Amino acid sequence: MTKKILIVDDEQNIVISLEFLMKREGFEVLVANDGDEAVRCIRAEQPDLVLLDVMMPKKSGFEVCQEIKADPKTQATCILMLTAKGRDTEVAKGLALGADAYMTKPFSTRELVARVRSLLGMEA
Amino acid sequence: MSPRARLTLATLAVPVFLLLTVAAVGGILWVDLSAEERHALAGLLAPRVGLMFVFLALAAVCAIAVVRQLHRNYVALPARLAEEARVLLSTGAARPVGVAGSPEVRALVETINALAEHRRSLEDDVAERIRAAMNSVEEEKNRLAALMSELTQSVIVCNLEGRVLLYNGHARQQFRALSDAPAAAGGGELLGLGRSIYTVFDRALVDHALETVRHRLQRGIQAVTHFVTTTRSGQLLRVQMAPVLPGGAGTVVAGGEVSGFILLLDNITRNFETESRRDQMLHTLTEGNRAALANVRAAAEMLDYADLQEELRERFRKVIRDEVQAMSQLLDRTATEFADSLKARWPLEEMLGADLVAAAQRRIEQMVSLPTKLEEVDEGLWLKVDSFSLLQALTYLAHRLSDEFEVREVRFRLVPNGRLVHLDMIWSGQAMSTETVMSWELEAMQFAGESSPLSVRDVIERHDGEMWMEREKVRHRAFFRIALPAAVPQVAQEVPAYPAGEGRPEYYDFDLFSWSERSRALDDRPLAELAYTVFDTETTGLNPSQGDEIIQIGAVRIVNGKLLRGEAFEQLMDPGRPLDPESVKVHGITADMLAGRPAIATVLPAFHAFAADTVLVAHNAAFDMRFLQLKEAATGLRFDQPVLDTLLLSAVIHPNQESHRLEAIAELLGVEVVGRHTAVGDALVTAEVFLALVPLLAAKGIVTLRQAREAAEQSYYARVRY
């Protein structure tokens, strides 16, 4: 069965690359442009994994993560947070709020793919 | 009984005694004799009775003479000598007791004189020592004051109640900058001897710091602590606190006892802003670029996929182009905006360019023996330099020119070029190769006994500058050009003004150490101990109730019986109404002088703060107070402290004088009148008059504030009402 991945980021310039990358890996790809849209989409589509940007309008990635992980219906969703802030304290916060993995921008797309596959329990 | 009475008594007693003795002897003999013997004796004596009485009288006279002589020698003379000795005892007069009388008395007198002489020499010795000690204390105080006034850091010393005992000129300037009314009080309403430091700093904050200092003292570690605080005007101050220990330096006191504290202030507002800007820039350039870099990197990596369709490939390329362009713009913007913060962090001083060139000339002539000349020097240019290393570099280059290229003379040129200043060192003759210039730039500067680990390049970099060589082929010359960033011309530091004829301002008063806050109610405190604000106002006219307004307030302070000329308050105000021509004749303040001055509503709060915690003193105070009271409703400021009036106090002391005008009293009391009819000039005279009145009042038994107020109220003039 094809795994479903949701890309949440307000910057189109990264969404293009991520979308292409994930589709190329054979995933079914959904896109959300802000936090609210992300939460709606996760509830409606039940994706297997969310690539979640932290700094977004309306609702930050942290809030989305917290909401998803607090809801029993959605808490199984894998969350990989992507952030443009490199401070250790933020990494700690993301993981404490329930994110399954955390990557700091800029990242290597190869590594990203590897992390996504391992989070989804697929071979690297 | 006086010696004279005793003499009279003795003079009477002697003949009486003689008569009684003769009578007694005669009586006993008469009783003892038989009848025949009595008869025979009577027969014998009867014809000689006259002779007997004559003898008896002679004997009495002799006895009286002897008694008088004895009295003179052993009663009158010692009494006189005793008086003289008493004078000697009480006055310590130089005149010794007169030597007279019997040898025994003389010996006694000489001993007394020797003792007196001995005592006098001891007293002289003690007085001499006291004088010497006072001189040295005074000298130390002056040395301390001189030291403090030269310090570039602000220093304030307070007693435990937070009363200011000492401050230096720099602190004064700093508080001037913090003041809401810098022109009038010059920060004097915030910082002044005897004022509370808590008007500036939060008491809890200072108490906390003091507690920390005490703890550190108890634990035997260096008892210094820091805190950072913001002032009302939003300035950021870093304060270092150290304790004042009782019993002088070096005494380590158990239990963390302190008698006061020293505050060292640093206004770090500017540093803080610079630091914040630096941080902000760093942040923009690092974190701010993460997202963009991620976009570029992801897109670039996508381009590697061979199976990419042409349309997508173009989209990724566009992402890369756009992002890189945005990043370039961000970089440019940041670099321009933060150009100042990017400068080297080496501490540089601002220096007049011409001074730097002159110093370079001296140094090169001295160390390299190479003549120098000036070509074109812009006198108004300021540079930000580390003058020592820059001079070293210039001298080093001159040395190598002279040594290796036999240059006979160097010339200097200093010209502005946009944001830069060009400092040129010019010589006639051949130019060296670029390689040679490079090696001179990069080698450590070692020459003529100088040995620096730095190279010319290091020095130039330290200044955020550049250096290169240029040729002037036509004139057959070459020069080294050092391009340095120009500094903003420095405004001469404002020196606080003091009334003419004053020496160093009274920045210290250690007697305040013994002050105790409200230990007694103000009313029962001696006049000599209180703090006063002596003030005077000039007005548009004499009728406040008909709209006349204050146009000038001048005030000085008296603390601990000392007139603080350095802490004056003076401000002209725009009354918002025309001046009475009559009043202009008195104070000489014209409408032009008042144009653009602040209104009273903005000046009164500063004056209120200046006069806080003091007794107000004015000459004919009722007049000035009436003006202030009429402003209460508008400003909400009540001047509710005790008020003393020199006019009334003068009337208490000299009830029979015709005039109690300020000049008249001043003349009577020997106070010199200078600068009258400016508010601060009158306030100064009033203050001097008041200080002269205090001991005169004390002589009349008027010692406390309450007594002074009561006496003033009873005085005749108290009935005058405006």
Q: Which ipTM did the prediction report?
A: 0.86
Q: Most confidently modeled of A19-23, B56-60, B305-309, B607-611?
A: A19-23
Nearest to B211 by CA among B193, B199, B194, B223: B223
Cβ pairs A/B, distance under 8 A = 62
Residue-wise pLDDT tens digits, B520-537: 467 888 888 888 999 998
**Would the CB atoms of A17 and B316 count as touching at under 8 Å?**
yes
CA angle, A32 then A38 then A44, to 5° = 105
Q: Is B323 on the interface with A (CB under 8 A)?
A: yes
- Weakest-pLDDT range from B21-30, B136-145, B322-331: B136-145
> pLDDT confidence of B465, banded at 50, 70, 90?
confident
Tokens representing A97 are 């709020």
Residues 44-103 of chain A whose Cβ lies under 8 A from any Cβ of chain B:
55, 82, 84-86
Nearest to A11 among B291, B307, B315 (CB): B291
> pLDDT confidence of B500, banded at 50, 70, 90?
very low
pLDDT > 70 in chain B, percent: 89
The per-residue pLDDT of chain A, averaged, comes to 89
- Weakest-pLDDT range from B160-164, B175-179, B668-672: B175-179
Distance CA B675, CA B599 (A): 25
Nearest to B319 among A13, A21, A85 (CB): A13
Architecture of domain B349-485: 2-Layer Sandwich (3.30)
Q: Is A121 on the interface with B (CB under 8 A)?
A: no
Q: Is B305 on the interface with A (CB under 8 A)?
A: yes
Q: Is B20 on the interface with A (CB under 8 A)?
A: no
- The residue ranking higher by pLDDT, B426 or B231, is B426
Residues of A in contact with B315 (CB under 8 A): 16
Q: Please give, rounded to a whole number of angstroms, the shortest distance from the CA of B290 to a CA of chain A.
A: 5
Q: Is A26 on the interface with B (CB under 8 A)?
A: no
What's the pLDDT at B186? Answer: 64
Domain A4-119 classification at class level: alpha beta
Residue B31 has pLDDT above 80, yes or no: yes
Q: Which residue of B has its CA nearest to A83?
A: B291
> pLDDT confidence of B492, banded at 50, 70, 90?
very low
CA B593 to chain centre: 31
> pLDDT confidence of B518, banded at 50, 70, 90?
very low
Q: What value does the mean pLDDT take over residues B493-506?
A: 39
Residue-wise pLDDT tens digits, B156-165: 989 888 888 8
Q: Which residue of B has its CA nearest to A113?
A: B298
Q: Which residue of A has its CA nearest to B303?
A: A17
Q: Which residue of A has its CA nearest to B308?
A: A20
Nearest to B372 by CA among B390, B353, B359: B359
Residues of B in contact with A24 (CB under 8 A): 305, 307
Distance CA B94, CA B203 (A): 59
Measured in residues, chain B has a length of: 722
Distance CA B610, CA B533 (A): 8
**Would the CB atoms of B290 and A21 count as touching at under 8 Å?**
no
Which stretches in chain A have pLDDT values below 70? Answer: 123-124
Residues of A in contact with B293 (CB under 8 A): 105-106
Residue B713 has pLDDT above 70, yes or no: yes
What's the pLDDT at B498? Answer: 37
Residue ranges of alpha helices (H) inside B520-661 are 581-587, 591-594, 600-610, 621-630, 632-635, 646-653
**Would the CB atoms of B296 and A106 count as touching at under 8 Å?**
yes
Nearest to B294 among A21, A24, A107 (CB): A107
Residue B341 has pLDDT above 70, yes or no: no
**Would the CB atoms of A17 and B302 count as touching at under 8 Å?**
yes
Nearest to B358 by CA among B298, B408, B423: B423
- Weakest-pLDDT range from A13-22, B341-350, B433-442, B706-715: B341-350
What's the pLDDT at B517? Answer: 47
**Would the CB atoms of A84 and B287 count as touching at under 8 Å?**
yes
Nearest to B244 by CA among B525, B557, B588, B510: B510
Residues of A in contact with B302 (CB under 8 A): 17, 20-21, 109
| Interface test with chain B among A105, A107, A115, by most B beta carbons within 10 Å | A105
Find out whether the peptide bond into A106 is cis, omega within 30 degrees of 0: yes
Q: What value does the mean pLDDT take over residues B548-561?
A: 89
* Gyration radius of chain B's alpha carbons: 46
Residue B195 has pLDDT above 80, yes or no: yes
Which CATH number does B518-719 carry?
3.30.420.10
Q: Which residue of B has its CA nearest to A55?
A: B291
Largest CA distance in chain A: 37
Q: Please give, rounded to a whole number of angstroms, the shortest distance from the CA of A33 to a CA of chain B.
A: 15
Residue-wise pLDDT tens digits, B133-158: 988 888 887 777 777 777 778 889 89
What's the pLDDT at B496? Answer: 42
- The residue ranking higher by pLDDT, B173 or B328, is B328
Distance CA B464, CA B486 (A): 11
- Weakest-pLDDT range from A5-14, B61-70, B655-664: B655-664
Q: Most confidently modeled of B88-102, B417-431, B504-518?
A: B417-431
Residue-wise pLDDT tens digits, B597-615: 888 888 888 888 888 888 9
Count of beta carbons in the 10 Å neighbourhood of residue B594 = 17
Q: Please give, rounded to a whole number of angstroms, the shortest distance from the CA of B328 to a CA of chain A.
A: 17
Nearest to A24 among B305, B316, B319 (CB): B305
What's the pLDDT at B495? Answer: 40
**How many alpha carbons lie under 13 Å from residue B682 in its C-beta half-sphere?**
23
Residue B27 has pLDDT above 80, yes or no: yes
Residue B128 has pLDDT above 90, yes or no: yes
B587 in catalytic set? no
Q: Please give, rounded to a whole number of angstroms, the shortest distance from the CA of B411 to a CA of chain A.
A: 55
> pLDDT confidence of B125, banded at 50, 70, 90?
very high
Question: Does CATH place domain B151-267 in 3.30.450.20?
Answer: yes
| Interface test with chain B among A21, A81, A103, A109, by most B beta carbons within 10 Å | A109
CA angle, B348 then B411 then B474, to 5° = 125
- With H, G, I as helix, E, B as strand and everything else as coil, classify residue B282: helix
